[in-house]
Amino acid sequence: MTANKKEQFPYEIERLSDEENKEVTRCFNGGVVWKFIRIGPQKYFFPNIYENFAERIYNLELRKDDIFVASFPKCGTTWLQELVWLINNNLDYDRAKTVILNKRFPFLEIEGVVGTINTESNEIIKNKMEGAKKALIPMTFDDILTMPTTSPRFIKTHLPLSLLPPTLLNNNKMVYITREPRDVVVSFYYHTKLMRIMNDEPDFKTFWKFFKNSEVIWAPFFQHVQEAWVQRNHPNLLFLFYEDLLNDLRGNVQRVAEFFGKSLTNEQLDELCEHLTFDNFKKNKAVNLEDMIKTGVFSKDGAFIRQGKSGSWRDHFDPEMTLEADRWISENLQNTDLRFPNMES
């Protein structure tokens, strides 16, 4: 293992006022008893239970060959996880199709963002969480710490780099993926509805306001992306855009393979790209979390793997919202050289 010098968590934690918290949570379903916090100078937004894990995650004892996939939510993370896992596991399609991705590639902070479900007062919520545990194994931070010593250990996170161990890029490889921010908002909205966290009150316009104001978990979006963008030339970080994978899957599969020092034949590239095509990916029960729908954790009205395309934001933003988004994007890209592919109004 890579011995980390244990450090005190370096960021201040601000708790939302009762009034702010009431506004943010008014759209939530019963059984969810979140209170929220903001962390550090970027004011990353989390449920208050994350405070119990912040220092532990910051001081996570890394293994020298740990591999991370990171992103803001709904940027193609699951797609990238499958790609990274297969490249580093000799293209073991049999295992990839039979062992759920969350078991092969666990979610680092999952316990710190879903542990606020009140399972005592609501039997329906309790049953849903039991179903979630089966689909999201390992479910706890300790589960990840005690994963078998077989190497490498694959870890997914939606945390920004500043909340992860500060020595991570010294020894460990990370692939970070991001996406057109307006498409992220749309996808995050449908994901939140799928998870049945929100009641029927909030329409997309309401959710857009929460997102723009950085009142969704893991926000603010641009600061999250910018932290990885400034490290894009680091030899242990590969920075990808979701749109580039859509437009040239083969070329970007090759980039990921080269990043990990792997060589793929033309036939292997063809087979891997075929496995990762949207139609095949959506049908793959090891990645599409079908069991979450069967157990009632997810709504029957949606799907975890939803559309696999870009530009759907145009179907959701009215002219007023489009102008707001243009200003929001322009303000946040000011004084940076970060640009998203195919970014236009």
Q: pLDDT tens across 256-304, in order?
A: 999 999 999 999 999 999 999 877 776 766 665 555 444 444 444 544 4
CB 109 within 8 Å of CB 155: no
Q: Stretch 315-341: mean pLDDT, rounded?
A: 95
One-letter amino acid at 202 equals P
Q: What does the pLDDT average to over 121-127?
A: 51
196-212 tens-digit pLDDT:
566 666 688 989 999 99
* Of 191, 182, 188, the residue nearest 301 (C-alpha): 191
Question: What's the pTM value of the predicted model, to 2 decimals?
Answer: 0.88
Q: Which domains does the chain have, with CATH numbers?
A: 62-333 (3.40.50.300)
pLDDT score for 198: 66
Q: Encoding tokens for residue 78?
A: 């699951």
pLDDT at 158 over 90: yes
Angle at 191 between CA 187 and CA 195, to 5 degrees: 175
Look at residues 316, 287, 54, 286 and name the one whose alpha carbon lies nearest to residue 208. 316
Tokens representing residue 283 in the block? 């049908």
pLDDT at residue 254 tops 60: yes
Of 6-15, 189-198, 271-280, 307-316, highest mean pLDDT: 6-15
Burial class of residue 277 (count of CB atoms within 10 Å of its CB; 0-12, 13-18, 19+): exposed
DSSP conformation letters of 288-317: S-HHHHHTTSS-TT--SS----S-GGGGT-
Helices 77-87 and 266-276, axial angle in degrees (round to 10): 150
Cα 309 from Cα 183, distance rounded (Å):
9
Taking residues 132-160, report their average pLDDT. Answer: 77
| pLDDT score, position 269 | 97
Checking if the pLDDT of 250 tops 80, the result is yes
**Lowest mean pLDDT: which of 1-10, 41-50, 235-244?**
1-10
Q: What is the pLDDT of residues 75-85, one digit of tens each?
A: 999 999 999 99
Dist. CA 151–CA 83, nearest whole Å = 17
> Which residues face 69 on adjacent strands?
156, 175
The structure tokens 């449920």 sit at 47
